[in-house]
Amino acid sequence: MSDYPFENEKGIHTDFLDKMTYDDYLQLDNLLNSQKRLSDHHDEMLFIIIHQVSELWLKLIIHETKGAIKAIERHNLRASFKMLARVSKTQSQIIHAWDVLATLTPAEYMEFRDKLGSASGFQSYQYRLVEFVLGYKTPHILNIYKKDPELYAILEDAYHKPGLYDVAIKALARSGFDIDQEILNRDFSKTYEENASVAKAWMEVYRNVSANWELYELAEKLVDIEDWFQQWRFRHMKTVERIIGHKTGTGGSSGVGYLKQVLNHYFFPELWELRSHI
Is a pLDDT exceeding 70 seen at residue 49?
A: yes
Selection from 217, 148, 162 nearest residue 190 by Cα = 162
Is 236 assigned a ligand-binding role in the annotation? yes
Is 47 assigned a ligand-binding role in the annotation? yes
* Tens digit of each residue's pLDDT (9 = 90 or more) over 194-237: 999 999 999 999 999 999 999 999 999 999 999 999 999 999 99
Is 268 assigned a ligand-binding role in the annotation? no
Is a pLDDT exceeding 60 seen at residue 1?
A: no
Please state the pTM of the whole predicted model.
Answer: 0.90
> In the predicted model, what is the mean pLDDT of residues 137-165?
91
Is 50 assigned a ligand-binding role in the annotation? yes
- The CATH architecture that domain 43-114+121-276 belongs to is Up-down Bundle (1.20)
Please tell me the predicted confidence (pLDDT) of residue 196.
Answer: 98
CB neighbourhood size of 36 (10 A): 7
DSSP string, 139-172: GGGGGGGTT-HHHHHHHHHHHHS--HHHHHHHHH
> In the predicted model, what is the mean pLDDT of residues 121-147?
89
In sequence order, the 6+-apart residues with CB closer than 8 A to the CB of 271 are 202, 219, 222, 223, 226
CB neighbourhood size of 116 (10 A): 16
* Tens digit of each residue's pLDDT (9 = 90 or more) over 81-95: 999 999 999 999 999
Is 250 assigned a ligand-binding role in the annotation? yes
Q: Higher confidence at residue 256 or residue 250?
A: 256
Please tell me the predicted confidence (pLDDT) of residue 235.
Answer: 92
Is a pLDDT exceeding 90 seen at residue 70?
A: yes
How large a percentage of the chain has pLDDT more than 70?
Answer: 92
Selection from 209, 200, 66 nearest residue 126 by Cα = 66
Is 22 assigned a ligand-binding role in the annotation? no
Is 14 assigned a ligand-binding role in the annotation? no
